[in-house]
Amino acid sequence: MTEVEKQRNNNEKRERILEGALKAFAKKGFYNTKVSEIASEAGVADGTIYLYFKNKDDLLISLFEDRMEWVIERLQAELSAVSGDSLVKLRAFVHLHFLLAVENRDLAEFITVELRQSAKFVKEYKNPKFADYLRILQGLIEQGQAEGLIRAELDSKLVSRAIFGALDEVLLQLTLSRSAPGDVVNESTQISAILIDGLITRD
Amino acid sequence: MTEVEKQRNNNEKRERILEGALKAFAKKGFYNTKVSEIASEAGVADGTIYLYFKNKDDLLISLFEDRMEWVIERLQAELSAVSGDSLVKLRAFVHLHFLLAVENRDLAEFITVELRQSAKFVKEYKNPKFADYLRILQGLIEQGQAEGLIRAELDSKLVSRAIFGALDEVLLQLTLSRSAPGDVVNESTQISAILIDGLITRD
């Protein structure tokens, strides 16, 4: 095997383990999943997992980072294709948040439910990918403030947090109730109406 | 001991165990806390805990229900003392949510962080107390719709979820960063501004 082939082989195995972990967590939850069950989902030997990840917490965080990178790339690509002002883009952001979740249920469940079960993740991990996600949202708020469309006195960081919280909670309910994708247009329209109409400047 | 004294004694012991659990969870997190550590915080024998609670999950849920009952009573009392329309009451609700949290940090951390670490709690438990909490919020939205102050086309249940999510996320950040109580006025004012101004009817 050449070095390039070896690297490709490594990447494929790593991806298979991450995918196996996602499936295993969706079935039994983070705490109840054994490393051997992840190995079995991934079709690798138990020991192989430790060649790629230190422990289950490390696997959880790597899985999150890897998938969030994908989410962020997709968000950026879709948002840059939207023509319009910051409010149009914010509505698209809200819609995409729900859409990506219903298209990827295991991932949505992982992010809204399983991830929080790791105290390490919630309390110690700095979470650079989530910071990237929030930065996109905060950037849209600030763009809106610069355009004079969003009230200048609002703290863009606090507002991004609040919007994320609203999206996340509604999504948690959708995920737990396993709602059909069709439902999401209603959710996304109503949440946009509340949050965004609450942000616009008024005379 | 009379039956009344026995009952009082039982209630006191149960409360001591719940208080011990709250302290122990705040220190080490739900998953890392052993039942023996709760017993030691509460000043009771290990076995005593099992006279009152089936297991650690049962203790977690009982603690949540007990404390939420207190939160709900306090919310209802304070809200009924507020004179004004539904928007005034909604602003008071948002403020109280933050205020109760900074006044009771261990409880806030328990509700925003620890509770979610129990898969049983998130996925299986029906959560009647949280439903009561949401019902207060939903009631205020519906009152506002009846008064013509809040847009009639909004789904009051969905809106309550979204508002709760926004409050909860901002609170999680405050709790993890252990912000001083003084900060909360800013948070509560801004969150009210976003959420409530986004709800009002407009011509």
Element housing B135 (H / E): helix B128-146
> Is some CB atom of chain B closer than 8 A to the CB atom of A29?
yes
The residues with which B17 forms a beta bridge, in sequence order, are: none
Q: Which residue has the tokens 């609002």?
A: A154
Predicted confidence at residue A202, as pLDDT, reads 57
- This complex has an ipTM of 0.81
What average pLDDT score do residues A53-76 get?
91
What average pLDDT score do residues A181-193 get?
77
| pLDDT band (50, 70, 90) for residue B100 | confident
How many whole angstroms from its chain centre is CA B101? 8
Rg (CA), chain A: 19
Rg (CA), chain B: 19
A108 vs A41 pLDDT, higher one:
A41
Share of chain B above pLDDT 70, in %: 91
Intervals of CATH 1.10.357.10 along chain A: 56-197
Predicted confidence at residue B187, as pLDDT, reads 82
CA distance B177 to chain A (A): 10
What is residue A54's DSSP assignment? S
Count the neighbouring beta carbons within 10 Å of the beta carbon of residue A9. 11
Q: What tokens does B121 get?
A: 């709690």
Cα A104 to Cα A123: distance, rounded to the nearest angstrom: 26
Cα A42 to Cα A33: distance, rounded to the nearest angstrom: 13
Q: What residues contact residue A122 under an 8 Å CB cut-off, 6+ apart?
A: A116, B113, B116, B117, B176
Would you call A195 and B194 a contact, using CB atoms and an 8 Å cutoff? yes
What average pLDDT score do residues A2-31 get?
87
B114, B25 contact by CB (below 8 A): yes
What average pLDDT score do residues B138-166 get?
90
Best probe of the B interface among A25, A169, A186, by most B CBs < 10 A, is: A169
Residues of B with Cβ-Cβ distance to A169 under 8 angstroms: 161-162, 164-166, 168-169
Residues of B with Cβ-Cβ distance to A118 under 8 angstroms: 117
Q: What residues contact residue A35 under an 8 Å CB cut-off, 6+ apart?
A: A46, A49, A56, A59
The residues with which B150 forms a beta bridge, in sequence order, are: B200
Instruction: Tell me the CATH number for domain A56-197.
Output: 1.10.357.10
- Shortest CB distance from A168 goes to which of B30, B165, B199? B165
Cα B117 to Cα A115: distance, rounded to the nearest angstrom: 9
Would you call B193 and A198 a contact, using CB atoms and an 8 Å cutoff? yes
| pLDDT band (50, 70, 90) for residue B34 | very high
Superfamily of domain A1-53: Homeodomain-like (1.10.10.60)
CATH architecture of residue range(s) B55-197: Orthogonal Bundle (1.10)
- Shortest CB distance from A195 goes to which of B186, B198, B202? B198
Q: How many CA atoms lie within 13 A of A147 on its CB side?
A: 16
Would you call A162 and B117 a contact, using CB atoms and an 8 Å cutoff? no
Intervals of CATH 1.10.10.60 along chain B: 1-53
Intervals of CATH 1.10.357.10 along chain B: 55-197
pLDDT in tens, A89-124: 998 999 998 888 888 888 888 887 777 777 667 667
Among A48, A47, A45, A40, which Cα is nearest to A21's?
Answer: A40
Would you call B162 and A154 a contact, using CB atoms and an 8 Å cutoff? no
What average pLDDT score do residues B8-33 get?
88
Predicted confidence at residue B178, as pLDDT, reads 67
